[in-house]
Structure 1
Amino acid sequence: MKMILAIIQDSHVNVLAKALMDRDIRITRLASTGGFFKSGNSTLLIGVEDEQVEMVKNIVEAVSTKERLEEENVHAVNMFILNVDSYERI
């Protein structure tokens, strides 16, 4: 299992969240700010099975390409993909 941390601008997060939820990918959205975008952004916590990682990456890429910022060298999304040893829903 993997945990994907996706940091995305607030203006784009709803499109990505809907695209993921339409494919039954559960997310937790956290409001955040930081050095990546220097403006309001959200961090999505996305827990997926190993075989779903590429699908999620493709969805993120499709959304971020569509919503690409006009400035050069600025990325719409930053992702961290982490191994998960254990997951429980209570």
Structure 2
Amino acid sequence: MKLIYVIVRNVDSGRVTDALNKNGFYVTKLASTGGFLREGNTTLMIGTEEEKVDEVIDLVKKECGPRQQIVSNPVGPAEFSSMQVMVNVGGAIIFVTDVDRFERI
């Protein structure tokens, strides 16, 4: 058994959760914060068998893969805040851990 932690942007979490649910995966959703653009994140926890880990990762990649977005300058002095900057957004951080014991009660 494996426990997969997937950290995605809030705007991507609904699509990722829906795709995982449609494919038979149960997901626990936790609110979290952080990131370069100071936007909210969501941490998803998915418990699954070892042979299905790649399927979970492929679904996450499909639903929230990296893409580019134009934003106002998110860092730097205030006089440059009106500048438009192309940044990479999306993607996910994924951790896969072993589960010593699992019980559903």
TM-score by length of structure 1 reads: 0.87
Residues matched between the structures, number: 87
Name the SS of the counterpart of 1:47 in structure 2.
strand
The Cα RMSD (Å) is 1.6
Question: Which of structures 1 and 2 has the larger relative contact order (alpha carbons within 8 angstroms, sep 6+)?
Answer: 1
Superposition pairs for residues 45-84 of structure 1, below 5 Å?
45-65=45-65, 68-70=66-68, 71-72=87-88, 74=89, 76-84=91-99
Runs of 4+ in 1 over 4 A off after TM superposition: none
Taking structure 2 as the reference length, what is the TM-score of the superposition? 0.76
**Structure 2 residues not aligned, in runs of 5+:** 69-86
Gaps of 5+ in 1: none
Q: What does residue range 4-83 of structure 1 map to in structure 2 within 5 Å?
A: 4-35=4-35, 38-65=38-65, 68-70=66-68, 71-72=87-88, 74=89, 76-83=91-98
| Higher Rg | 2
The structure with the greater share of residues assigned to strand is: 2
